[in-house]
């Protein structure tokens, strides 16, 4: 039997935009992997009447309702009370849960448990209790009239821990299907053009399905299959992924890869090469993205943020006459920066970025969006000249960074550098 779920996030702070609803994202990903269809996300404030209305609507269209938030001890944490009223369930005090909460306060927080925290030990009669090892609010689940109701805490770390520890095993017993997705990652072609090229394939597909998603500065294609088991779903996906990857060619930089920098680090490790970076307009973004990858120290020597023109000369050794003649934003400077950072760090490969991120032209009148990406390697120095257009500063920096990683990826894999 196919199950349909609705996720209800409770919290006025979500409606006000003070925090992002990351819980719904993580829950949807987990439910999809279990073969459970998620058709609705609902966000409702800390208001009993509106929470009741959301729950009543959800039970008419879904057979799994998962709520997050509203399990705390304060006056406005009313999720349990409201849901129990809607489903005709009594709340029962669990002395053992109360003792656990009291122990958390006394052993971890070194303070007596506030009196109102006793409410967190009140749970629906005959429910399955989800222990909370990283917080004080336990979660729970019950079934009523063919509808499964799961209540989880709102703090993301508590929710995530409970999801992995309790919720996934609980739901796995309900679902007989598995949904598996593969992300085909591309760079160098826009979403509309990719969709145009693949439209006929996409329209003919029912299971697996294929959809495009534009990420900042790149495009992800998600192939998704549903079957009776993970293995069967993966078998359905394999030929689709192979076909799409071959069709799109070298704009595909990987499958289920987190980003271009991950593909580059993997290729550097495979080839036993080291890398260094020299940045101007990206302000250290390349270095930050690289050093976020565990184990990157095996291949990444370090980077130089030479934002000031004189830094390019004093630290990277870019010749002063070259800077005077061509300017800091030029093909010649990009090449020299890449060569200089190789020389300074001893890395086999150097990558550089210099450009105008805006909002104004540089002192030589170079337009916003003009960027040069350089690469220096044992077989020579290369440069990619770009005009990325006038766009928001952070987006321009991100796109310039992706071009730098794409140039590196192409050199590492002996692909055309253009």
Q: Are residues 302 and 383 in the same domain?
A: yes
CB neighbours (10 Å) of residue 368?
20
CATH number at residue 217: 3.30.70.2860
Q: Are residues 193 and 268 in the same domain?
A: no
Q: Are residues 168 and 183 in the same domain?
A: no
Say how far residue 104 (Cα) sits from the centre of its chain: 32
CATH number at residue 360: 3.90.950.20
pTM for this model (two decimals): 0.78
Q: Are residues 23 and 126 in the same domain?
A: yes
Q: Is the model's pLDDT at 207 over the cut of 80?
A: yes
Q: Are residues 320 and 334 in the same domain?
A: yes
Q: Are residues 247 and 335 in the same domain?
A: no
Q: Are residues 158 and 31 in the same domain?
A: yes
Classify residue 417: in a domain, yes or no.
no
Residues 375, 381 contacting (CB under 8 angstroms): yes
Q: What percent of the chain has pLDDT over 90?
A: 84
Q: Which helix (H) or strand (E) holds 95?
A: helix 95-107
Q: Are residues 219 and 314 in the same domain?
A: no
Q: What is the pLDDT of residues 41-57, one digit of tens each?
A: 999 999 999 999 999 99
Q: Can you give the residue range of the structural domain that contains 200?
A: 178-255
Classify residue 418: in a domain, yes or no.
no
Q: Are residues 294 and 243 in the same domain?
A: no
Count of CA atoms in the C-beta half-sphere (13 A) of 153: 23
- The structural domain count of the chain equals 3
Classify residue 31: in a domain, yes or no.
yes
Q: Are residues 228 and 271 in the same domain?
A: no
pLDDT of residue 2: 76
Average pLDDT over residues 292-302: 98
Average pLDDT over residues 217-230: 90
Q: What is the pLDDT of residues 138-178, one digit of tens each?
A: 999 999 999 999 999 999 999 999 999 999 999 988 877 78
Q: Are residues 398 and 251 in the same domain?
A: no
Q: Are residues 368 and 303 in the same domain?
A: yes
Q: What is the pLDDT of residues 20-37, one digit of tens each?
A: 999 999 999 999 888 888
Average pLDDT over residues 361-378: 95
């Amino acid at each position: 039997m196919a199950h349909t779920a609705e996720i209800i996030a409770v919290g006025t702070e979500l409606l006000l935009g003070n925090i992002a609803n990351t819980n719904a994202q993580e829950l949807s990903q987990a439910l999809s992997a279990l073969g459970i269809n998620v058709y609705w996300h609902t966000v409702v404030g800390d208001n009993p009447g509106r929470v009741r209305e959301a729950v009543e609507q959800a039970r008419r269209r879904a057979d799994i309702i998962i709520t997050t938030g509203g399990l705390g001890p304060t006056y406005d944490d009313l999720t349990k009370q409201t849901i129990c009223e809607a489903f005709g369930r009594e709340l029962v005090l669990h002395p053992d849960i109360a003792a656990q909460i009291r122990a958390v306060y006394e052993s971890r927080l070194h303070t007596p448990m506030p009196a109102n925290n006793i409410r967190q030990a009140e749970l629906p009669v005959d429910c399955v209790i989800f222990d909370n090892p990283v917080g004080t609010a336990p979660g729970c689940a019950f079934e009523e009239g063919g509808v499964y109701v799961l209540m989880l805490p709102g703090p993301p770390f508590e929710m995530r821990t409970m999801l992995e520890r309790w919720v996934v095993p609980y739901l796995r017993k309900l679902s007989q299907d598995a949904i598996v997705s593969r992300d085909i990652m591309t760079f160098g072609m826009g979403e509309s053009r990719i969709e145009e090229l693949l439209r006929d394939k996409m329209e003919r597909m029912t299971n697996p399905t294929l959809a495009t998603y534009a990420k900042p500065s790149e495009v992800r294609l998600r192939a998704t299959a549903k079957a009776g088991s993970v293995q069967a779903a993966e078998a359905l996906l394999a030929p689709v992924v192979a076909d799409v990857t071959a069709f799109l060619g070298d704009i595909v930089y990987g499958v289920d890869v987190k980003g271009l920098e991950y593909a580059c680090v993997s290729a550097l490790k495979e080839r036993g090469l080291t890398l260094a970076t020299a940045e101007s307009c990206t302000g250290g973004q390349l270095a930050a993205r690289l050093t976020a990858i565990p184990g990157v120290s095996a291949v990444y020597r370090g980077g130089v943020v030479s934002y000031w023109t004189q830094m390019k000369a004093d630290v990277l050794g870019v010749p002063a006459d070259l800077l005077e003649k061509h300017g800091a934003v030029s093909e010649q400077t990009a090449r020299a920066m890449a060569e200089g950072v190789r020389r300074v760090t001893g890395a086999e490969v150097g990558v550089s970025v210099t450009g105008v991120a805006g909002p104004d032209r540089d002192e030589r009148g170079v337009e916003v969006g003009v960027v040069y990406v350089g690469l220096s390697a044992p077989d020579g120095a290369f440069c990619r000249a770009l005009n990325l257009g006038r766009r928001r500063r952070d987006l321009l920096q991100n796109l310039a960074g992706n071009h730098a990683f794409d140039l590196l990826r192409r050199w590492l894999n002996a692909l055309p550098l253009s």
